[in-house]
Amino acid sequence: MKSLRIAAFAAAFGMLASGAVAQTTLRIGLAEDPDILDPTLARTYVGRIVFSAICDKLFDINEKLEIVPQLATGYTVSPDGESVTIKLRQGVKFHDGETFDAEAAKFSLERHLTMQGSFRKPEIAQIDRIEVVDPLTIRLALKAPFSPLMAQLTDRAGMMVSPKAAKETGDKFGLKPVCAGPYKFVERVQQDRIVVEKFADYWNKDNVHIDRVVYLPIVDSTVRLANLRAGSLQMVERFLATDVKTVKEDKRLKMVSAIDLGYQGLTLNLANGPKADNPLGKSAKVRKAFELAIDRDAINQVVFNGEFLVGNQWINPRNPYYQQSVPVPKRDVAKAKALLKEAGVTGRVELDFMVTNNPETRQIAEMLQSMMAEVGFDLKIRVTEFATALKEAEDGNFQVFLIGWSGRTDPDGNLYVFVTCNAPQNNGKYCDPKTDEEVKKARVASDLAERKKIYEPATKRLVGDNEGPIIYLYHRGILTAYTEKLEGYTQLPDGLIRLVGLKLKP
Amino acid sequence: MFTFLTQRILQLIPTLFCVSILIFGLQQLLPGDPALVMAGEERDPAVLEQIRKQYRLDQPVPVQYVYWVKGVLTGDLGESMRLKKPVSELVVEKLPVTLQLACMALLIALAIGIPAGIVSAVKRGTAWDYGANIFALWGISTPNFWLGILLIFLFAVTLNWLPASGYVGLRENFWASIATTIMPAFVLGNAIAAILMRHTRSAMLQAMTADYVRTARAKGLAERRVVLKHALRNALTPVITLGALEFGTLLSGAVLTEQIFTIPGFGKLIVDSVFNRDYAVVQGVVLVTASTYILLNLLADIAYVLVNPRLRA
């Protein structure tokens, strides 16, 4: 390997001498192998990281979660909220040389809406039709006002694909995606690597400094980090909180972290089948006692080195939508016991506690078990493989389920499908018309302050008074480590690795 | 010989049929719903419905089985739900990787196991014997993933001699390819070497007390010649069978080792596919490896007959 490196160096030196610039390659270790690289059909978190290199979106977000232009330059919403006019950037080319214009944008959005097997359809289903106003303007006519729409366009639903390539390859587009991002797809070897190279005609090419990027899925986080320390990678995503010390002590490495958009919590079975018939499922008071038994800070310190952020709502305490009037409750055993008594619970409450199988979740489950035991709950931990757990949750075969959500930019994405009556992810089968009404109202309002106000009573009801089906515990820190030779990297809460502006020193 | 061969080959048909039913049936026992996993976080009922329809998950299991077997007989192993890629393409992509790793591991195992077995048998009861036995015990009882991580820390992180993980193809760059596979091959080979060593040792001990060895010694042959030419030749037959079987196991992929070293072979493909309930891929890969295993067995049987005339009757 050493001789290889010398050879590479010699080659690079030779090129320099002949006047050409040395190729720079950034090798990034991913925590999983992405699924298909088609923005319409993709569904994994990690796939989005690769998309951020190859497929630009209409809009992007910044550190404050504000919506900023990318392939679009701006938008206006009609006063009745039922149509959105989007101005597109001029001079944008797809990787195959095709021009990006209103027709192409219309094509991409319609592909998301109509393609067989599209995972984007539910995200932007509120779009009724797309009109081309002029070559650089489109208008989206909505079925009803829907404020989370713009946030959806900052993720995969906003990704634009080359109409020519998409028409030619159909549902095989993902094997060789053609978009308008800073890097174009070169090759992929399943479970081994994805290679992309700088796109010469990128609209913002002056800010792209690295020639080649190679994504390598390395599932084991110890090995992933070892690769970074050995120099065979220049960056790794999502390393373990318990490795923070190792990274900080290594002078050749740097790290950044951002609190993610999602949450981790306990889903409670309120009305899903016979298992819901237990004190926790039936009484909000018992649920309050249950929550008061939890010491969130202890979990964060013990399992995550204090690197994560504890919370009690579907968005983290640093999010602009966080309701300060409903703070994170502290552990209070005496009060919890009193509440149980008030609720008429005598004797110990035994609960079926489903946990997915990984070292961190098992550790959390054991901590919760001992915290709960002090108050009077006996958690029977049932470690279940992930795919099985999903089905069990759907079928109502659980009483408490430790599970998380990767999160969406708009708060609606963390709430609607979990708490409205009969929503697809409402595994606890919570249903309250008042909550439904408020959550729906917040989808229509567009102003942040106004929406936050609408969410306030729902927050009080769902988590303040423990009527809701989820006890939110903490928000993960997205920990990214990289070589000190890499300059200009910042981590945003959506977990993407943005490559524009990055520099790699030789 | 001809009748023997046709007989053995005809026997393959019911075996393969049973294998196909086993593969399909076992998979149906897996809990969980492939459509749910496929849909991931976006669990829209309409999307789920569509997935079930597209991959015939809404049809009865026997019907799904018939569709699958029909495909297999016409050379179509189906398509990966997750990657939208034909399974046969995935198999062709992974086979050289697994084959290379298996060959290297077996070479390492033979190079360590057989000499160690001979030495410990010939020098029975000495420090050599005890040393070899301790090595064997260590080899059998060391978990692959642990040894793997230790090697990475020593050779990649500390000494910086070898890449920590990943894979480079043989045709892409020969030496880089060897560098990426030498550690996983050693981890796999080490465990097999231990088994081979134990078997070589006991077979050699038996052979060393045989009459023909005594005769050879009585003829006044050099000890070296007695051991290598007379004893070893006879002792080696069961060891080679064992080696062939271990090779078959290696070909089905080394799940943990591939995971640690990020080698994109069969093992990693199968694990990922099971977790994602990507049925077509699991079925295809297991079918291919099971067939290879059966074929290796057949070859071993034929080799026996060729070597041992007494079996030809």
Write out pLDDT tens, residues B27-54. 888 777 888 877 766 677 777 888 888 8
**Other residues' Cβ atoms within 10 Å of the Cβ of residue B207:** 19
Q: pLDDT per residue over B111-123, tens digit each?
A: 999 999 999 988 8
What's the pLDDT at B42? 65
What's the pLDDT at B237? 77
What's the pLDDT at A6? 44
pTM of the model: 0.83
**A2-55+181-258+478-504: which CATH topology?**
D-Maltodextrin-Binding Protein; domain 2 (3.40.190)
Report the distance separating Cα A88 and Cα B47, nearest Å.
30
* Domain spanning A59-165, CATH class: alpha beta
ipTM over 0.90: no
Would you say the CATH fold of A263-475 matches that of A2-55+181-258+478-504?
Answer: no
What's the pLDDT at B41? 67
Using the beta-carbon criterion (under 8 Å), do A230 and B157 form an inter-chain contact?
yes
* Minimal C-alpha gap between B279 and chain A (Å): 13
Contact A41/B at CB under 8 A: yes
A395-409, B195-209, B224-238: least confidently modelled range: B224-238
What's the pLDDT at A75? 95
Contact B297, B9 (CB under 8 A): no
Domain ranges of chain A: 2-55+181-258+478-504, 59-165, 263-475
What's the pLDDT at A3? 46
CA dihedral B152, B155, B157, B158 (to 10 degrees): 140
Burial B278-299 (b: 16+ CB within 10 A, else e): bbbbbbbbbbbbbebbbeebbe
**A263-475: which CATH topology?**
Dipeptide-binding Protein; domain 3 (3.10.105)
Using the beta-carbon criterion (under 8 Å), do A226 and B261 form an inter-chain contact?
no
Each of the 506 residues of chain A gets a pLDDT tens digit; together they read 444 444 444 444 444 444 445 789 999 999 988 989 999 998 888 999 999 999 999 999 998 889 999 999 999 999 998 999 999 999 999 999 999 999 999 999 999 999 988 889 888 999 999 999 999 999 999 999 999 999 999 999 999 999 999 999 998 999 999 999 999 999 998 888 999 999 999 999 999 999 999 999 998 888 899 999 988 899 999 999 989 999 999 999 999 999 999 999 999 999 999 999 999 999 999 999 999 999 999 999 999 999 999 999 999 999 999 999 999 999 999 999 999 999 999 889 999 999 998 888 999 999 999 999 999 999 999 999 888 888 899 899 999 999 999 899 999 999 999 999 988 889 999 999 999 999 999 999 888 999 999 999 999 999 999 999 999 999 999 999 999 999 999 999 999 999 999 999 98
Q: How many CB pairs under 8 A join A and B?
A: 149
Nearest CA in chain A to B277: A387
Report the distance separating Cα B19 and Cα A355, nearest Å.
34
What's the pLDDT at B49? 83
Q: Which of B157, B259, B262 lies at the smallest CB-CB distance from A229?
A: B157
Report the distance separating Cα A151 and Cα A148, nearest Å.
5
What's the pLDDT at A1? 41
What's the pLDDT at B301? 76
The pair of three-digit structure tokens given for residue B237, joined into one six-digit string: 């037959």
Contact A230/B at CB under 8 A: yes
Q: Which of A123, A387, A406 lies at the smallest CB-CB distance from B275?
A: A387
The pair of three-digit structure tokens given for residue A334, joined into one six-digit string: 């005496």
H or E, element range at A355: strand A349-356
